[in-house]
Structures are given as structure tokens and as C-alpha cells.
């Protein structure tokens, strides 16, 4: 029988538009039924490897059915530096992903607890932080501050978006200021790092949550392994820049299996609500 197999090297996501009947795990190489993998939130049943999951699928898995209100969908990137072919690349990503930017923001309830959730998506310009991404995240925190709601941000990014130069780097400060205002109002921010969280995103708002979590096996760091090794002239540990390494060295509060993320976050939100 002729079956379509999702067997690409770049892990483009799983069970997209029902096109792939089976998927090969990039870690253990086991062949998995895509529908069953989708039900397990794209976590391999054989080795527990966390494959890429889209921002919309993650949001659907988190928020209570019928509670979601999508926010700031009109905020999209422009080309402030007239970078060649930037607009065409944006349009290509919009068509490929069904998104208008590398982050989505929604307000809703998670197991009954009101919350604002922002989820970055590495399928769109590698989740890079452009002006529109920074604007949507800053607005998410400002909206949550006005409505006195907790915020959860799932990061997945290659860092700053090169096509926007210094304007991209400015988003680190802009979002961090919005985080500080939210914190000063006595409100909860959960930073939840997923694979990969690197560059300016890891160096700013991804690391300043009241609670800092990460997904199992996530790559987290600022500069790449090769650059660091060449700088310090030493060989780094094999698990360097993984979520588990950061937990061991006190930079995270916990590492969470994706299949447990909803229950885990529900308990935090519930405890926070009781304390208030």
C-alpha cells in the first residue's frame, strides 16, 4: 500500500492538514501513526521525544473549549529597512502556516482560570523576533495588566529577525518593560521555553518569569555551541543548553512533559488565584 510518510530532516510539524499518514520520529526513528501522535500532542510514544507542535494546536490543547478570544490579529510585519525579498518571505510563511506572524495571543480560561496566553511559532521565520512579534507580546502584557490577568508565554525562537536590524533588537526592551509593568501590578507571569529558545528572546522576556519552565529536551541558550567552545577553548557537555541542563544548574524552576503541561499550569493558576 502506498502511504505518504513524513520523513523530513527539519521536523516541519506533524499531521499537517492530514497529509501524512505516518511519521518517523527524528530521535529514535520509530514509525508512528500521525493521528495517534497528534492525540499525544506530538510526543513520541517510544522515546518521549517532543516533536514540533504548531502554536494553534498548542493553544487548542490549553484553553477550555469555546473560551478563546484571539487578540491583536491585525498586527503584522512591514519592511522598515526595505530589506530585499522580505515581503515575499513573509507572504510565503503566512500561506504555509495560516498565521500572520510568529506569535499568536489569546485570552480565555484554562481549566476555568482566566488567562492570557502568547505562543511563538518556529514555523514562521523561525519564530524570529521582529517588530510585530514584539508589539503583540507587549500588547498581551498591557492587556493582561489592565484586566488583572496572569500571562503565560511559550517561547520558540531563533532570536532577533535580521531583516529588521536594530528595530528587532529594540523589542527585547519593549517587551521587558511591559513585563515589568505587569509584575509591578502584582500579577503572575509564567515563562515557558520550548524548542528552540535562543538569541535575544532567551536573553530577555523568556528568562524573567515569576516561574520559569521549559519543555522536555528543549534547546535553550544565547549563542551557539560552536561559538562558545571557540571562545572559551573548552569542550562543552553533551547536554549543554538543554532544558535539563539548565534545571540542574538552577536556571529553571521545572522541566515539564508536554502531555502534562495543561494540568501543571492549571495547578499553578489555581494556587495563584487562591493566594490572591
For residue 212, give every residue at least 6 positions away whose Cβ sits within 8 Å of its Cβ, in sequence order, or none: 191, 193, 251, 252, 253
Alpha helices (runs of H) in 98-149, residue ranges in sequence order = 131-147
119 marked among binding-site residues: no
Cell 493521528 belongs to residue: 35
28 marked among binding-site residues: yes
181 marked among binding-site residues: no
Whether residue 163 contacts residue 133, with contact meaning beta carbons closer than 8 Å, is answered with no
Rounded CA separation 72/245 (Å): 35
Rounded CA separation 14/182 (Å): 35
Cell 498586527 belongs to residue: 75
Within a 10 A sphere around the Cβ of 205, how many other Cβ atoms?
28
129 marked among binding-site residues: no
Task: Please enumerate, by residue number, every residue annotated as part of a binding site.
Answer: 25, 28, 44, 47
Query: From the annotation, which residues make up the binding site for Zn(2+)?
Result: 25, 28, 44, 47
Amino acid at each position: 500500500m502506498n502511504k505518504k510518510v513524513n520523513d523530513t530532516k527539519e521536523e516541519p510539524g506533524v499531521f499537517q492538514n492530514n497529509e501524512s499518514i505516518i511519521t518517523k520520529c527524528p530521535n529514535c526513528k520509530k514509525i508512528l501513526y500521525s493521528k495517534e501522535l497528534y492525540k499525544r500532542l506530538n510526543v513520541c510514544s517510544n522515546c518521549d521525544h517532543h516533536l514540533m507542535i504548531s502554536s494553534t494546536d498548542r493553544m487548542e490543547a490549553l484553553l477550555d473549549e469555546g473560551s478563546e478570544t484571539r487578540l491583536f490579529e491585525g498586527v503584522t510585519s512591514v519592511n522598515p529597512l526595505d530589506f530585499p525579498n522580505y515581503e515575499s518571505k513573509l507572504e510565503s510563511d503566512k500561506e504555509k502556516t495560516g498565521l500572520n506572524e510568529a506569535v499568536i495571543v489569546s485570552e480565555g480560561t484554562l481549566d476555568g482560570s482566566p488567562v492570557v496566553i502568547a505562543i511563538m511559532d518556529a514555523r514562521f521565520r523561525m519564530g524570529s523576533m521582529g517588530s510585530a512579534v514584539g508589539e503583540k507580546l507587549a500588547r498581551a502584557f498591557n492587556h493582561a495588566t489592565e484586566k488583572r490577568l496572569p500571562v503565560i508565554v511559550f517561547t520558540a525562537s531563533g532570536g532577533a529577525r535580521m531583516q529588521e536590524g536594530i528595530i528587532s533588537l529594540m523589542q527585547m526592551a519593549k517587551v521587558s518593560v511591559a513585563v515589568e509593568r505587569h509584575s509591578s501590578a502584582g500579577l503572575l507571569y509564567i515563562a515557558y521555553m520550548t524548542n528552540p529558545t535562543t538569541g535575544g528572546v532567551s536573553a530577555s522576556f523568556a528568562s524573567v518569569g515569576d516561574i520559569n519552565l521549559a519543555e522536555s529536551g528543549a534547546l535553550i541558550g544565547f549563542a551557539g555551541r560552536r561559538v562558545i567552545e571557540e571562545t572559551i577553548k573548552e569542550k562543552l557537555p553533551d547536554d549543554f543548553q538543554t532544558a535539563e541542563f539548565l534545571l540542574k544548574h538552577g536556571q529553571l524552576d521545572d522541566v515539564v512533559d508536554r502531555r502534562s503541561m495543561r494540568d501543571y499550569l492549571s495547578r499553578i493558576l489555581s494556587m495563584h488565584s487562591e493566594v490572591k
